Amino acid sequence: KAGVTQTPRYLIKTRGQQVTLSCSPISGHRSVSWYQQTPGQGLQFLFEYFSETQRNKGNFPGRFSGRQFSNSRSEMNVSTLELGDSALYLCASSLGSGEGYTFGSGTRLTVV
Amino acid sequence: DQQVKQNSPSLSVQEGRISILNCDYTNSMFDYFLWYKKYPAEGPTFLISISSIKDKNEDGRFTVFLNKSAKHLSLHIVPSQPGDSAVYFCAASASGNTGKLIFGQGTTLQVKP
């Protein structure tokens, strides 16, 4: 079966712009979580959506937001980009019961 | 406040020997633990998991041990192969926080031929 698909794979944006990243989960999975990976902070949880509702949120500023559609696909938006937002953004999908998290290949965002 | 810690940034072992990667946690609410393998610029690949009701779980060459009293888990890879060279992350979650994984900082494993 198809895995978790993240688009685009690479993105270069200018400071102050906004960006939208997309994640298509494994068919049947209703939970999508987002993570940011940076060399200094490691893998950090951003938020999780389950059945179109945000169920969990990490400690990131309000510039980071997300949503989930009825087909479970999720988007993440970052507004007013800062240099420090340069990172690998990963999403993971699961059935939503607390087990079996499968990650996508990530979107590499570079802010210049 | 780092709730999941991997204190060894790197580990080097000879092919065919055992690799032991360690992970400590501080939050007693964690009840599900996972190990992931990761290559640069790729997403983590799931290896093995363990629930807090168990103290051991095996899958082929991979075994995870959980010591709840010490808040410690370890991943054993036997025998180690050069293809196992990657960064290994342990992660933890709590049933009250479904969907949220807390990751350690990772350990880079190098398996030498």
Nearest-Cα residue of chain B relative to residue A103: B43
Weakest mean pLDDT among B4-18, B22-36, B52-66, B85-99: B85-99
Which tokens go with B37? 């393998």
pLDDT tier for residue B3 given thresholds of 50, 70 and 90: very high
Compute the distance between CA of residue A50 and CA of residue B73 in angstroms, rounded to an integer: 29
Compute the distance between CA of residue B37 and CA of residue B81 in angstroms, rounded to an integer: 14
What is the predicted pLDDT for the residue at B8? 95
Compute the distance between CA of residue A95 and CA of residue B91 in angstroms, rounded to an integer: 18
| Overall average pLDDT of the B58-69 stretch | 97
**Cβ-contact B10, B75 below 8 angstroms:** no
| Overall average pLDDT of the A31-51 stretch | 92
**Cβ-contact A3, A70 below 8 angstroms:** no
What is the predicted pLDDT for the residue at B72? 98
Q: Does B100 touch chain A (CB under 8 A)?
A: yes
| Overall average pLDDT of the B47-65 stretch | 96
**Cβ-contact A47, A32 below 8 angstroms:** no
Q: Does A60 touch chain B (CB under 8 A)?
A: no
Chain A residues inside the 8 Å CB shell of B98: 31, 48, 50, 55-56, 96-98
The larger pLDDT score, comparing residue A109 to residue A94, is at: A109
Compute the distance between CA of residue B106 and CA of residue B21 in angstroms, rounded to an integer: 10
Distance from CA of B31 to the nearest CA of A (A): 10
**Chain B residues 9-28 within an 8 A CB cutoff of chain A:** none
pLDDT at A74 over 80: yes
What is the predicted pLDDT for the residue at A1? 61
Compute the distance between CA of residue A26 and CA of residue A16 in angstroms, rounded to an integer: 33
Weakest mean pLDDT among A66-70, A73-77, A91-95: A91-95
Pairing of strands B19-25, A42-50: unpaired
What is the predicted pLDDT for the residue at A2? 75
